[in-house]
Structure formats: C-alpha cells, structure tokens
C-alpha cells in the first residue's frame, strides 16, 4: 500500500527547496516560458515570491520529502510584491538574457492577472508544482487537499489561474470550475481562470 504524502508548512529554512521545486516544475510551463524565457531565473523568481510575499502569510507548503510545493494567499492578503533590490536584479538579468522585448510581456501578464482576479474573499493558489521525476504520485492532489479542506471548513471559495492545459483535469477533480480563458499577453499562450465553491 502506498503511504499518503505528508504535507507540512514551509519555514524560512525551506525557501531554497521550495524555489527549486517550483523552478523544476515550471521549467516547461507554456505561460511561464513565454513571460520569462530564461529558465535559469526561475529559482530566483520563486525564492523572491516565497520570501517576500507568500511565506509571511503562512501559506507555503511542501511534502516531507521536498518533491512538491505550493504557495497560497489567504482571504484578504495583499497580492502586491514589495519592491526590492532582488526584484530589480532579477528583471535586469531577464533583460540581459532575453532582451528588452521581455518587459512588455511582464507588464501584460501582470495586467491580465490583476484584471481577472476576483474581488470577493477567497483562498488564492498562486503556484503548485511537483518535480519532474516525482509526478504522477498524488503529490499535487495531496497539496490541493491540504488547503481545500480548510476552505470547506471555513466555507470559503478558492481561485487559481492554470497556466497549462495539462493541469486543468487535476483542478477539476478537486472541484475547480473553468470561468474563462485569456491569452497571458499579446501572442501569448492561454491562461485559464478557475473557481471553486466550498463544499
């Protein structure tokens, strides 16, 4: 019998592991590849988000063997990332590797996500990912269930943007429904907006 994955709350000491997991998981993600073409920057990008935005909210999770991770925001939490030298350095590195034309993509993707984001209180799943060599073992489902259970206990809906069509069936199995779809920017791949009512 396969043992169910053990999910725990990440701490500051786990930031590098969380960043590496998500960087690996999103290395072939259509939307991420379009917005940030240089895969080598992904770990720094997720490290910045975890440290500055998601870890302070207490909503970063990973499995006990560091194969999968997820970053959520609770109802009412701000989505605004405080400006920092690390953020400016990442953008500079992105321009060096991918050219100045990448800046409009960053802006367009941000505008799409902000415009589509629901106004009513909800739990927001920003990123969930499983290392490539650990996929298909129920880790994504375990991470989803960990917070969905809380959503149901609090009668609170949940929201996410699916950046890959391959992940949509997983989210649908856990109660998320497609609201709409829109390119992440001019000429970019589709971003699918999904909502889950509490049960």
In terms of Cβ atoms closer than 10 Å to its own Cβ (0-12, 13-18, 19+), residue 20 is: middle
User: Which pLDDT value is given to residue 24?
Assistant: 96
Q: Which residues pair with 177 in a beta bridge?
A: 195
* 61 phi/psi in degrees, rounded to 5: -130, 155
Give, for all 199 residues of the chain, the pLDDT tens digit.
457 789 999 999 999 999 999 999 999 999 999 999 989 999 999 999 999 899 998 799 999 999 999 999 999 988 877 777 777 777 778 888 878 888 888 899 999 999 999 999 999 999 999 998 898 889 999 999 999 999 999 999 999 999 999 999 999 999 999 999 999 999 999 999 999 999 9
List, in order of start, the domains of the chain with CATH numbers: 7-196 (3.40.630.30)
Name beta bridge partners: 182. Answer: 191
Compute the C-alpha angle 134/136/139, nearest 5°. 70
* Residue 101 CB partners (closer than 8 Å, separation 6+): none
**Whole-structure pTM value:** 0.92
């Amino acid at each position: 019998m396969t043992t169910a994955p053990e999910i725990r709350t990440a701490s500051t000491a786990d930031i590098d592991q969380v960043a590496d997991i998500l960087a690996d998981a999103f290395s072939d993600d259509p939307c991420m590849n379009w917005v940030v073409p240089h895969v080598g920057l992904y770990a720094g990008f997720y490290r910045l988000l975890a440290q500055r935005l998601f870890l302070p909210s207490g909503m970063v999770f990973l499995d006990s063997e560091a194969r999968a991770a997820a970053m959520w925001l609770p109802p009412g939490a701000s989505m605004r990332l405080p400006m920092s030298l690390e953020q400016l350095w990442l953008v500079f590195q992105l321009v060096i590797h991918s050219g100045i034309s990448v800046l409009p993509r960053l802006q367009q993707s941000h505008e799409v996500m902000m415009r589509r984001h629901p106004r009513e209180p909800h739990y927001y799943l920003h990123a969930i990912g499983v290392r490539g060599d650990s996929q298909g073992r129920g880790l994504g489902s375990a991470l989803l269930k960990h917070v969905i259970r809380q959503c149901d206990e609090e009668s609170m809906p949940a929201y996410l943007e699916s950046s890959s069509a391959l992940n949509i069936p997983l989210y649908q199995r856990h109660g998320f429904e497609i609201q709409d779809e829109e390119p992440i920017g001019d000429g970019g791949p589709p971003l699918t907006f999904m909502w889950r009512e509490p049960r």
